[in-house]
Chain A
């Protein structure tokens, strides 16, 4: 790939950070949009994990006092359980989600977890009918989400599966995908 102009746009919200990269290289410019979960949010989640681990670690003490179980055997088990719990959580902990628009080719959606695992989904450009900004209503709140209408399928494909970025960050991504589809059609 050729040179990349780094961070054409960066916008922060306190919880999320939006970064827009444009890679200018052969054959055409590739648009990349990242939504990163902020360190402070990550820290909060890590603190929560640590507290859960502590809870698990302290549970044998309660058992010890209540039922006179052997401390030496229960302590490593509870630490192990707590550790497994934290590991599972970090696997669910999303660090970054990205949308890579490859013009005339397709759109790649990436999800990067805290443990380094990355899940990628690719959608060819001719399969996308339109990207839509939906208002999702739950029993307690209402939030915006970006989804793609795929030709031939009943269900919408969510672009950001785990994160809930604010609508200000979703709008440029929506406009970019709309533009890519318009170019393809003409």
Chain B
């Protein structure tokens, strides 16, 4: 007479997946190898999660036991089970038991770059968080303190932001202390009951530290890379090594374009199957074209970018006088500030173009649309770009774009909305001429409607949600296997990374002794609609 477990065992026997056992405490016994070779599969009592066999050839099934009968059957059949408490002390991983309830995740976004700064990464995090909240997930953002802005703030839709009082030291980055941020990150992860940690931007030290600590503590980790980086100079080499360390153990990675995916995979040695491509989007409701079409007597070319070397300000210095010479009815409007502004002013003086070139200085983000709708053509001269949101904003406002063909730019817009050129002044002048000729065929309203269909942040959020689902279905590995992944990073670097992670694990265990997990108070979920004290969930039942 077969027991319930033996019957299910026969049913699942054909699936042939290796098994990791979790006992009712959620700890992973160290002796997985023995169980794996036996290919034993056990049905779960309350949680049964399978991984997609097509994605993960060595898929893993997580099973939770809460029955002594099952455990004793396994022991009787020679399956070696470790005592959970001893194993977990140094080698186990505690899996947070808040797996997705009804499919909704609790996400922590970490980056050095967030509001009140405005930029590509900042906007991406904000819009993505808002759309994820609309889909029903809970999102918390963690960043460093800006001037007086420190502590907990709430943004639209109940987005909670932790401005942790670590001062930035270089280009908006927190001081990298390796282990200094471990206590505060652990506290935030426990009190908000986070299930997925999502880090943004390879240049952000806070992101790397948070991902490292989250991995130590057993959380699932997703990383998004927003920029392209080189391979040759000293700064890039260091950054790539740090990236290799972080991405050696990341659960999933997201890049904003296929070019960016190639770049990230080459820099970090990550297997390409782990990287997803989810392009950025644009808020088409904010970037609407001008209500009346501009007359084509005088053609206005708009440039809005930071005036730095990377954004091709030097190219502009060559291109503008040439275009002004060739086309007498063309005017330029330049918005933005930076170190290269002086060169542009000099160029203006030298060629007496004061009435044909307007320098607006730094344009606040709220005014970008009003500057864009004064123009017919948008000029982007960047020397490197993973994905250019500025082009999307211009296209959404109905401008024809002329851009350098670098990085991920060719992937952004359809061919009839953009004219591409090599980053060479003469080539760019030719492209501008071509754009001026096709300008009468452009209808801003049609362009705007097309952009609305092509790009939306809700679509980005849905795709990111899929990535989170896949991430949470990945198996958790024991510490030894994770450490072996770090060894592949390099002869000396691999051993150094292993050492760093081991020290992190030990510090985490020490912190758990100093302040146990249950001492950290969990924040109750408060909805924004409840204003009166009685309606909020501050009941003794929920708190105890």
Chain B's closest residue to A172 (CB) is B540
Interface of chain A residues 120 through 154 with chain B (CB within 8 A)? 134-142, 144
- Are A137 and B521 closer than 8 Å at their CB atoms? no
Q: Mark B310-334, 1 if CB is under 8 A from A, else 0.
A: 0000000000000000000000000
Our pick among A136, A142, A168 for the contact of B191 (Cβ within 8 Å) is A142
Closest chain B CB from A39 CB (angstroms): 19
Chain B hits for A168, CB < 8 A: 521, 540, 543-544
- Are B164 and A137 closer than 8 Å at their CB atoms? yes
Q: A166-B521, A167-B521, A167-B543 are in contact. Are A139 and B165 (CB under 8 A)?
A: yes
Chain B's closest residue to A136 (CB) is B151
The reply on B178 being an interface residue by CB < 8 A is: no
Chain B's closest residue to A133 (CB) is B538
Q: Mark B367-394, 1 if CB is under 8 A from A, else 0.
A: 0000000000000000000000000000
A175 to B535 Cα, complex, angstroms = 12
Chain B hits for A137, CB < 8 A: 150-152, 162-165, 184
Chain A's closest residue to B191 (CB) is A142
Closest chain B CB from A147 CB (angstroms): 12
A134 to B153 Cα, complex, angstroms = 10
For this complex, into which size category does the number of interface residues on chain B fall?
20 to 34
Closest chain B CB from A133 CB (angstroms): 9
- Are A144 and B151 closer than 8 Å at their CB atoms? no
Chain B hits for A178, CB < 8 A: 533
The reply on A171 being an interface residue by CB < 8 A is: yes
Please count how many residues in chain A sit with their CB below 8 Å of the partner chain's CB atoms. 17
- Are A142 and B188 closer than 8 Å at their CB atoms? yes
A166 to B543 Cα, complex, angstroms = 11
The reply on B158 being an interface residue by CB < 8 A is: no
Offer 14 A-B interface pairs, CB within 8 angstroms, sorted by A. A134-B152, A137-B165, A139-B164, A139-B184, A140-B187, A141-B183, A141-B184, A141-B187, A142-B162, A144-B521, A167-B543, A168-B521, A174-B533, A175-B533
A135 to B163 Cα, complex, angstroms = 11
Closest chain B CB from A141 CB (angstroms): 5
Closest chain A CB from B141 CB (angstroms): 13
Interface of chain A residues 146 through 186 with chain B (CB within 8 A)? 166-168, 171, 174-175, 178
The reply on B166 being an interface residue by CB < 8 A is: yes
Chain B hits for A134, CB < 8 A: 151-152
Q: A134-B151, A140-B183 are in contact. List 18 more A-B contacts (CB 8 A).
A: A134-B152, A135-B151, A137-B162, A137-B165, A138-B184, A139-B166, A139-B180, A140-B184, A141-B183, A141-B187, A142-B152, A142-B184, A142-B187, A142-B188, A167-B521, A168-B521, A171-B538, A175-B538
Interface of chain B residues 171 through 186 with chain A (CB within 8 A)? 180, 183-184
Chain B hits for A175, CB < 8 A: 533, 538
Chain A hits for B150, CB < 8 A: 137
- Are B544 and A138 closer than 8 Å at their CB atoms? no
Closest chain A CB from B151 CB (angstroms): 5
Residue numbers of A with Cβ under 8 A of B are 134-142, 144, 166-168, 171, 174-175, 178
A105 to B78 Cα, complex, angstroms = 74
Chain B hits for A135, CB < 8 A: 151-152, 523
Chain A hits for B166, CB < 8 A: 139
Closest chain B CB from A74 CB (angstroms): 37
Chain A hits for B543, CB < 8 A: 167-168, 171
A168 to B183 Cα, complex, angstroms = 22
Closest chain B CB from A157 CB (angstroms): 17
A40 to B521 Cα, complex, angstroms = 21
Chain B's closest residue to A15 (CB) is B519
Chain A's closest residue to B150 (CB) is A137
Interface of chain B residues 247 through 273 with chain A (CB within 8 A)? none
Chain B hits for A136, CB < 8 A: 151
Q: A168-B540, A171-B543 are in contact. Are A138 and B165 (CB under 8 A)?
A: yes
Chain A hits for B180, CB < 8 A: 139
Q: Mark B266-286, 1 if CB is under 8 A from A, else 0.
A: 000000000000000000000
Chain A's closest residue to B164 (CB) is A137
Closest chain A CB from B525 CB (angstroms): 14
Closest chain A CB from B140 CB (angstroms): 11
A23 to B362 Cα, complex, angstroms = 64
Interface of chain B residues 183 through 198 with chain A (CB within 8 A)? 183-184, 187-188, 191
A171 to B165 Cα, complex, angstroms = 26
Closest chain B CB from A111 CB (angstroms): 23
Closest chain A CB from B234 CB (angstroms): 30
A135 to B540 Cα, complex, angstroms = 19
A81 to B402 Cα, complex, angstroms = 78
A142 to B187 Cα, complex, angstroms = 7
Chain B hits for A138, CB < 8 A: 165, 184
Chain B's closest residue to A131 (CB) is B533
Max chain B CB contacts within 10 Å: which of A139, A144, A167?
A139
Chain B hits for A139, CB < 8 A: 164-166, 180, 184
A144 to B522 Cα, complex, angstroms = 11
A144 to B165 Cα, complex, angstroms = 16
Chain A's closest residue to B521 (CB) is A167
Chain A hits for B521, CB < 8 A: 144, 166-168
A174 to B164 Cα, complex, angstroms = 26
Chain B hits for A166, CB < 8 A: 521
A141 to B186 Cα, complex, angstroms = 9
Closest chain B CB from A99 CB (angstroms): 16
A145 to B183 Cα, complex, angstroms = 19
Chain A's closest residue to B192 (CB) is A142
Chain A hits for B183, CB < 8 A: 140-141
A27 to B120 Cα, complex, angstroms = 63
A174 to B532 Cα, complex, angstroms = 12
A148 to B183 Cα, complex, angstroms = 29
A144 to B184 Cα, complex, angstroms = 14
Chain A's closest residue to B160 (CB) is A135
Interface of chain B residues 500 through 527 with chain A (CB within 8 A)? 521, 523
Chain A's closest residue to B534 (CB) is A175
Closest chain B CB from A8 CB (angstroms): 14
A138 to B151 Cα, complex, angstroms = 8
A134 to B184 Cα, complex, angstroms = 17
Closest 6 A/B residue pairs (Cβ): A140-B183, A135-B152, A168-B543, A137-B151, A171-B538, A142-B187
Closest chain B CB from A160 CB (angstroms): 15
Closest chain A CB from B521 CB (angstroms): 5
A140 to B164 Cα, complex, angstroms = 9
Closest chain B CB from A122 CB (angstroms): 24
Interface of chain B residues 435 through 481 with chain A (CB within 8 A)? none
